Structure 1
Amino acid sequence: MLPRLTSNQTTHQTIADFLDTLKKSPFTGEIRGDLASRLVASTDNSIYQILPQAVVFPKITEDIQEIFKLANHSSFNSITFSPRGGGTGTNGQSLSPGVIIDCSKYMNHILELNLDAGWVRVQPGVILDQLNQYLQPHGVFFAPSLSPSNRATIGGMINTDAAGKGSRIYGRTSDHILSLNWVLPDGTFGTSSAIAKKRLNDFKNSSSEPLSKIYQTIDDIVTSKQDLIESIFPKMTRFMTGYNLAKVYNSDRTVFDINRILSGSEGTLAVITEAKLKLTNIPQKAQLLVLHYASFNDALKDAEYLLQFEPAAIETVDDKILELVKQDNLYCEIKAFIGDAKAINLVEFIGKNQEAIQDKINPIIKSLGQAISYYLTDNKTEINQLWKLRKRGVELLANMSGDRQPIPFIEDTAVPPSHLATYTQELQQLLAQYNLNYAMFGHVDVGCLHVRPALNMKSLDDEKLIRELSDQVVNLVHHYGGVMWGEHGKGFRSEYTPLFFGEELYQDLRKIKAVFDPYNKLNPGKIVTPYASSDQIFPLESPLKGQFDRQVSPNLRSQYQAAFRCNGNGACFNFNPDEIICPSAKQTRDRIHSPKGRAMLLREWLLLKSQVDTSRSRVQGLLNFPLKCWNTLGKWWGVPDYSHEVYEGMHGCLSCKACVSQCPIQIDIPAMKAQFLQDYHSRYWRSLRDYLTAYLETSAYWQADFPTLANTITKNWILQEAIKKLLGIVDLPAVSINTVKQELAKRKAPNFNLDQLSALTALERKKSVILIQDALTSFYEASLVVDTYDFLTNLGYRVYIAPFFINGKPLHLKGFLDQFEAVAQKNIAYLKKLSSLDIPLVGIEPSIVLTYRDEYSKISDGKEISNKVRLLQEFLLEQDSVLPQLSKAKSYYLLGHCSEKSLAVNSQKQWQEVFEKMGISLILVSTGCCGMAGIYGHELDHYDTSQGIYQSSWEKHLPSTPEERTYFLVTGYSCRAQVKRFSGWTPEHPIQSLLVELRDCLSTKS
């Protein structure tokens, strides 16, 4: 039996009192002091883990002012704060032991667009891709291009002065800021923009003393230290991030802009609440040249040569990433473009016309430099796919095998491009001395190199290398006139700041910190501490994830291995509603309900389990019953148990399986959820709803024998309300009135007899197919099973319908793993027998068919049958010689099932191929999750979320008129049921439309 788990990581009393007082104030946002919320905010994409005391989610600027006004009360003046954006930082910039201010959940609106003046005004929680999708129809974009663009917030980009692809031309985020609104830690509201120097005195003489001091101090420093700043700051595109003294004045010193100080300040000076951003015209023409190299060093050597042709960007990818991408879904899209290269340079050219671009490319193609071959494209889809490879470089690294994983800590060094090759060779020699595996990639056009040595952070010996290697790399990069932080900020590497700024300017940085934040309340310990303060910078040896993970017993780490492989890259924070990864995270905007969040909850849960003597919890036989009753009563009475917080996080998961393929580390949250639920319910009783869900297949089987009675009962209003209140289930589906048995009898379908099937000749087997039934289609959409039978029969197949047997998927979903395994073992034996007949086995419902490949494959002997049951489209393509040629001018549109798109990544394209082979156009519609996900959408506590998920993607892509609806097809039962529920009509399955077209063709010929 699972023991009760409690954590000693309770909120300090001062913080608890602060939160209680804040709740009674005019603050309108959300306040979270629970351990789960704190844990999710305790990590980012770095090696560190710092547990905050609380997380607050403001909704308006005044909320942030209210926070600070209250925090300046004498009772709370020890509390510190750290603003947080997308949580994608690689150096722990937003990690803090104080209170996290997260603007991403509510302050995420695009406020105003002025195309004539060329700007857009946004809140800090707006995501880069969200902004650029909004701007794209207007022919403009916000130019900084980041790898995590689908989850990086504008506020986070400002706080790290983010740069990325194309920064040699477009510069950094700070180069595109027109004005900022911000709040100081005393609650003072400020706004800043570039001002003429002659107006500077107006700001120095501001009636607001804090603002007056800020302008006075910054001007005094950048004016009196002009020569020193000029001599110390490197002349590179990737200069030092944060407190950028060199850019406060423009080149002729006529314009003064403190946004250059705020940008890259990592939330240490003020909390950004709004930004007006400069817009850039989208390039009219673009070509991407993929240069193939025999080695990574050859690619680096070519960088300076390629720069003379003025590309917009040069990005290098090494052999480690090119090898890892072969394990990723992306590979099938790009393999023809990268060939057998050991390294590539992606060289992009942009311009107003193709001729001008081609003039730059032709000399490169003619000589090739160090390259051995190339691929050139102006196709937008191909260009996007190749840039996706570069964007996913960091994410793919987490798939390296072994305990040692590539990690960021010498992540973004930058040197003048002319020194890059030599510097890199010395860096490689340094890493070779430690026998370390590593991956390298980067923006070679600006000399910025991303390198991630592979270390096991659960090992004390490897942990020591963080300091040892960092010190040596700092000296090496300084020797070559570079910087330690070319892109990803300082964070817990801030102790190296004096080396690059010099002691005199370092003290000036502290003076700037002091006028913004004299009491060190904002993100303390990062970049600098206030002048004359005794506070210290956080050391490099701050708490690491590995220090916590190593405390978990090896056995538990093995059981939940995927949770420990999560590196925090945050790909599951993807905002795009038309991409399938984590619908619960998108809809709730609660990071707990993301794969990363759930992995964090599990890691803490396993840590607590490892600290408890579980031998005391081993109870047998009759003792289980009264103890579970007592424990369940305690749960209702509010007896604390951290397992409840994990349960809430897991309960929000749709088990859609998108994380299995869309997460670069392929974290299977639904599988770990099932494991957790089994363990959780060893202590607490399950709800009656769980039992009904788990045995849904069996109940549907019996309902199908009495469909009219079953539907009368489930559609009775009084019973519906009773079911809703007692079980928390809504919108139960109706079983099919005309059953599969009845319809097959009308067609005189062949009986299913194993002896008769065994006696078939080889030729007869070739023209036969066995259709494996599933509960969803057989009992709730019997017409689909019959239509599939008719279609295959019309193609000349003799179709045998196997007797129905439960698949066990619902058992697995609810964590009845022992029962699931028993069902699966029985089915595996049966499917082995069927597959031995050498007759194709085909299933209709993707979620059921793919259970044989996914969950069954993890059970003894399961791999033997994992690919024996084919999806319909897979079977049809394998038998394409029998597909008739039809002609249809009108195109169909296909919306796919989440699990199908994730677990069978080519499934939608396969349907497209089937249609094309039959002379029909099929357009694939990019959608996220429909929000139903089996039973999830029928659970009352998920109803609103389910509807919101549907409305955010599917509803927007579906037609409104009956005429158009005919041409929209949906592969999954859950998805069709969701459309019927919220849009009032039921789309057809692709096979049903093909049957209609086939019958039309046959009737025309006859």
Structure 2
Amino acid sequence: AVLCGSEGTLALISEARINLEPLPTEVALVAVQYESFMDALFDARELMTHGATSIETVDSKVLNLAMNDFIWDSVADYFPASDRTLQGINLVEFTDFDAAKLADTVDQFRRYLEQVASDNGRSFAHAIARGRAQVSQVWAMRKRAVGLLGGVEGAKKPVAFVEDTCVPPENLAPYIGEFRQLLDEHDLDYGMFGHVDAGVLHVRPLLDLKAPETMEMVRTITDQVVDLTKKYHGLLWGEHGKGVRSEYAPIFFGSLYPAICQVKALFDPLNRLNPGKIAGPTVDSPLLKIDQVPTRGASDRAIAPSLQSSASTSLLCNGNGACHNYDLDDRMCPSWKATRDRRYTPKGRAGLMREWVTRLSDQGVQSIPSLSVGEHILGAPARILRTWKKSDANYDFNHEVFESMSTCLACKSCTGQCPIKVSVPTFRSHFLSAYYTRYSRPMKDWIVGTLEYALPIAAQVPKLYNLLVESRLGRGLFSMLGLVDSPSLSGIDPHRAIAEAGFQVADTSRLLAMKDSDPERFSRQVVVVQDAFTSYFETNAVVDLFELLKLLDFEPTLMPFHANGKPLHVHGFLKWFKRLGESNAEKLRAIDAIGVPMIGLDPSMTMTYRSEYQEAHIETPPVLLVQEFIATHLVEGAIATTLPVKRFRLFAHCTEATNAKESLALWKPIFAMAGQSLEIESVGCCGMAGTYGHEKANVETSQTIYAQSWKPKVEAQTQSDGEILATGYSCRSQVKRFSNQTMRHPVSALRVILASAASQQPA
């Protein structure tokens, strides 16, 4: 027992036998709402008398973060809208082995809440989650909300140094009142949450650890909190250990401290085990001091400002480990799930990137280098020689970072799902840009980077192109260059296909004239912005989109094809991407200036305009996802049909599902308006991610990722399960490749439904 809580200062434990108790089988949770956080704290004391297993309190800071995150959708039913302002909650959990007893306990508690609801300082609303699944959703919200604290904008981030203080539960409310006053006097923002039934409340003040003076404030605040916890008969450490706060151990242990030192001397007389923590062999042994421990902020301070900017999201990583996710139906992080190599997680890559920019800064490098196409050509001989000489004998840390970055799918799940918003694709592109100033780019990168330029030309001779990619000779050639399973062209140029379907190419002068001469017709105009993949590999999907829009009484026109630049960004051609993006954005602005909405079909390519373009400081007007446009411009009943209800299941592209979850959810009411049922499935990454799955080096990993979540769901579907639809071109391509099934985009399914409704024929 003496080893418990010793934090590695007495011994190393290699094996332990633990007695386990069975968990209660029945669970319910009551979410109790308050107009102030202090009301929630004061009320918790009374709530404890009702036999709850646990009670957790969350303040408005943490709550608001959750409300503005996708996680809120899963728990919104437990926090119904009210004219009262929600500023605090108590999450009261009840458990039992007997379902009937639990139901009775919860019902009694519910009646109590209803009885006191009108009293001052009491809750104004409550909701009940029943069963493991519902309760887990609420706890997941609380867990993610706490993680989101680390993602607040600005240089100041929540720092855990007085975060687990503990006082007797009956003292908690007045203690926290003084604690809040203390932090307010320092003009600090903070979030509070924790286990009020145990008297532990987690407090994380927002501080900028890169600022040299911050550690002085850490010292001052900690000293004040020590005095405050002593006043209320509590401890500085109630849950997470003493650790770097061990200098305060003599204060709290008092006369027991010499005895603790004697125990340390018996186990570790030479003070080798975790020295400076809790106690030393003598009362005079030095202990760690709160303001003298190394911090990430201090090391990041030494990085050149321009390097900090290029690697910014990697420096945000606080090591929370949300990306070490074992749920195969969750999208973050596919390379981790396929390899179980922690270097291939957002956390691992962020750590490598942080180390890389630190080393660059140590060598006097002020900014991450990047080359234009011309510079690539001029410097090719030197880079080829350097690449040829590359070997393990000539160690270069660049190669370690490159190995990790090259396994990233750039699916952007981390960008949307990481609570800190660590975006690996963002800093990965900066790293690749710099790496290839020193080493030669493989030919596959040039092929992928120029693909958007080559496809319009290839579309003029589709049979010749398809012969090349489908023949044994062509496949062998592409394999030698590092690419496999290249898709075939649709066989018809998208501009010609649209014209044959009776639609026109967008013309700014025609649209301007229409705006003045025919305002009603002008109000129905929408411009479809092309992406290379659906336009040239799935031209039929583009035609379906046009026909769907026509059925919805819009008049779509096709914007002439221009490269989007997404492949360039993914592979680190940043100067090229910037130049192309600015040219493309100018054309988009010309359409936007007329007042015509623009939409895109493929979510990943379309979202480039709102993500990568913005990161590159390219002024770009909105380009909507298809469902965003339809949901915004249609009124209830506009597409009602009397057809039999069909069931559909939607598998979304990773980028869309994690970075535009609210937009993704719009497909459900759109299908409902058409009298159809659509469910958005929880599914992992498909493993294709643009061109990642077509790279020879990635095929095995790509197939592993596909087999983990998509394959079993795709191949096990039956007619009664409903047709699976997919929004991403790359996802549909992957299904075709590994399951030999053709999957439709939602617009294709809707087009058939509405066309059938128009002729009153079953879809």
TM, length-normalised to structure 2: 0.89
Measured at CA, do residues 506 and 643 of structure 1 come closer, stay the same or move farther in structure 2, by a change above 3 Å?
farther
Q: Please, what is the CA RMSD of the aligned residues?
A: 3.2
Show the 5 A alignment for 1:851-866.
851-860=608-617, 862-863=619-620, 865=621
Question: Please, which of 527, 544, 559 is the counterpart of residue 787 of structure 1?
Answer: 544
Check conservation: 2:246, 2:279, Cα contact below 8 A: yes
The residue number in structure 2 matching 1:635 is 390
In 2: Cα distance, 1:964 partner to 1:701 partner: 41
Question: Please, which of 752, 758, 762 is the counterpart of residue 1002 of structure 1?
Answer: 758
Counterpart amino acid of residue 748 in structure 1: G
Structure 2 regions of 5+ residues with no counterpart? none
The question of 1:363 aligning with 2:119 is answered: no
The residue number in structure 1 matching 2:32 is 290
In 2: Cα distance, 1:1005 partner to 1:543 partner: 71
Question: Please, which of 441, 444, 450 is the counterpart of residue 689 of structure 1?
Answer: 444
Q: How far apart are 1:914 and its partner, in Å? A: 0.8
SS at match of 1:958: helix
In 1: Cα distance, 2:331 partner to 2:745 partner: 20
The residue number in structure 1 matching 2:631 is 877
Check conservation: 2:368, 2:434, Cα contact below 8 A: no
Measured at CA, do residues 978 and 606 of structure 1 come closer, stay the same or move farther in structure 2, by a change above 3 Å?
same
Q: How far apart are 1:522 and its partner, in Å? A: 6.1
Check conservation: 2:645, 2:675, Cα contact below 8 A: no
Check conservation: 1:440, 1:452, Cα contact below 8 A: yes
The residue number in structure 2 matching 1:32 is none
Question: Please, which of 14, 20, 37 is the counterpart of residue 278 of structure 1?
Answer: 20
Q: How far apart are 1:845 and its partner, in Å? A: 0.6
In 1: Cα distance, 2:577 partner to 2:679 partner: 37
Measured at CA, do residues 564 and 309 of structure 1 come closer, stay the same or move farther in structure 2, by a change above 3 Å?
same
Question: Please, which of 579, 582, 589 is the counterpart of residue 330 of structure 2?
Answer: 579
Counterpart amino acid of residue 404 in structure 1: K
Counterpart amino acid of residue 348 in structure 1: E
In 2: Cα distance, 1:688 partner to 1:596 partner: 30
**Cα-to-partner distance string for 1:700-750 (whole Å, 9 max, x where unaligned):** 2222222222122112224323322x3222221122135434543443333
Check conservation: 1:886, 1:998, Cα contact below 8 A: no
Counterpart amino acid of residue 832 in structure 1: R
Measured at CA, do residues 422 and 912 of structure 1 come closer, stay the same or move farther in structure 2, by a change above 3 Å?
same
The residue number in structure 1 matching 2:70 is 329
The residue number in structure 1 matching 2:521 is 764
Check conservation: 2:167, 2:200, Cα contact below 8 A: yes
SS at match of 2:599: strand
Show the 5 A alignment for 1:126-525.
244=1, 261-262=3-4, 265=7, 269-272=11-14, 278=20, 280-284=22-26, 286-294=28-36, 296-331=37-72, 336-337=79-80, 340-350=85-95, 352-353=99-100, 354-368=103-117, 370-371=121-122, 373-378=124-129, 383-501=135-253, 504=256, 507=259, 511=263
**Cα-to-partner distance string for 1:194-245 (whole Å, 9 max, x where unaligned):** xxxxxxxxxxxxxxxxxxxxxxxxxxxxxxxxxxxxxxxxxxxxxxxxxx55
Measured at CA, do residues 742 and 624 of structure 1 come closer, stay the same or move farther in structure 2, by a change above 3 Å?
closer
The question of 1:849 aligning with 2:620 is answered: no
Q: How far apart are 1:827 and its partner, in Å? A: 1.3
Measured at CA, do residues 509 and 940 of structure 1 come closer, stay the same or move farther in structure 2, by a change above 3 Å?
farther
Farther-moved stretch of structure 1 (506-515 vs 589-598) = 506-515
Check conservation: 2:307, 2:368, Cα contact below 8 A: no
Identity percentage of aligned residues: 35
Measured at CA, do residues 320 and 287 of structure 1 come closer, stay the same or move farther in structure 2, by a change above 3 Å?
closer
In 1: Cα distance, 2:367 partner to 2:66 partner: 47
Q: How far apart are 1:643 and its partner, in Å? A: 2.3
The residue number in structure 2 matching 1:980 is 736
SS at match of 2:142: helix
Question: Please, which of 931, 953, 972 is the counterpart of residue 709 of structure 2?
Answer: 953
Check conservation: 2:488, 2:537, Cα contact below 8 A: yes
Q: How far apart are 1:560 and its partner, in Å? A: 2.8
The residue number in structure 2 matching 1:236 is none
In 2: Cα distance, 1:302 partner to 1:896 partner: 43
Check conservation: 2:324, 2:345, Cα contact below 8 A: yes
Q: How far apart are 1:961 and its partner, in Å? A: 5.7
Measured at CA, do residues 479 and 856 of structure 1 come closer, stay the same or move farther in structure 2, by a change above 3 Å?
same
In 2: Cα distance, 1:602 partner to 1:913 partner: 42
In 1: Cα distance, 2:757 partner to 2:235 partner: 69
Measured at CA, do residues 914 and 360 of structure 1 come closer, stay the same or move farther in structure 2, by a change above 3 Å?
same
In 1: Cα distance, 2:337 partner to 2:6 partner: 27
In 2: Cα distance, 1:999 partner to 1:274 partner: 67
Check conservation: 1:584, 1:652, Cα contact below 8 A: yes
The question of 1:940 aligning with 2:696 is answered: yes
Check conservation: 1:602, 1:646, Cα contact below 8 A: yes
In 1: Cα distance, 2:367 partner to 2:600 partner: 47
Measured at CA, do residues 950 and 785 of structure 1 come closer, stay the same or move farther in structure 2, by a change above 3 Å?
same
Q: How far apart are 1:474 and its partner, in Å? A: 3.2
**Cα-to-partner distance string for 1:472-499 (whole Å, 9 max, x where unaligned):** 4334324433233222233333444455
Structure 1 regions of 5+ residues with no counterpart? 1-243, 246-260
SS at match of 2:624: strand
Show the 5 A alignment for 1:908-919.
908-919=664-675
Measured at CA, do residues 554 and 967 of structure 1 come closer, stay the same or move farther in structure 2, by a change above 3 Å?
same
The residue number in structure 1 matching 2:470 is 715
Counterpart amino acid of residue 431 in structure 2: F
Show the 5 A alignment for 1:529-548.
538-540=288-290, 541-548=292-299
The question of 1:737 aligning with 2:491 is answered: yes
Q: How far apart are 1:955 and its partner, in Å? A: 1.9
Check conservation: 2:306, 2:367, Cα contact below 8 A: no
**Cα-to-partner distance string for 1:865-916 (whole Å, 9 max, x where unaligned):** 1x2x221111221232432324334421111100111221213311111111
**Cα-to-partner distance string for 1:274-326 (whole Å, 9 max, x where unaligned):** 876635355435241322133x2232222212111222322112232234345
Check conservation: 1:846, 1:972, Cα contact below 8 A: yes
In 2: Cα distance, 1:343 partner to 1:605 partner: 42
In 2: Cα distance, 1:764 partner to 1:745 partner: 20
Q: What is the aligned residue count?
A: 741
In 1: Cα distance, 2:755 partner to 2:380 partner: 60
Counterpart amino acid of residue 661 in structure 2: V
In 1: Cα distance, 2:18 partner to 2:454 partner: 58
SS at match of 1:806: coil
The residue number in structure 2 matching 1:53 is none
Measured at CA, do residues 561 and 961 of structure 1 come closer, stay the same or move farther in structure 2, by a change above 3 Å?
closer
Q: How far apart are 1:452 and its partner, in Å? A: 1.3
Q: How far apart are 1:850 and its partner, in Å? A: 0.7
In 2: Cα distance, 1:617 partner to 1:349 partner: 54
The residue number in structure 1 matching 2:583 is 826
Farther-moved stretch of structure 1 (616-625 vs 898-907) = 616-625
TM, length-normalised to structure 1: 0.68
Check conservation: 1:318, 1:343, Cα contact below 8 A: yes
Check conservation: 1:577, 1:927, Cα contact below 8 A: yes
In 1: Cα distance, 2:48 partner to 2:732 partner: 53
Check conservation: 2:27, 2:93, Cα contact below 8 A: no
Measured at CA, do residues 773 and 558 of structure 1 come closer, stay the same or move farther in structure 2, by a change above 3 Å?
closer
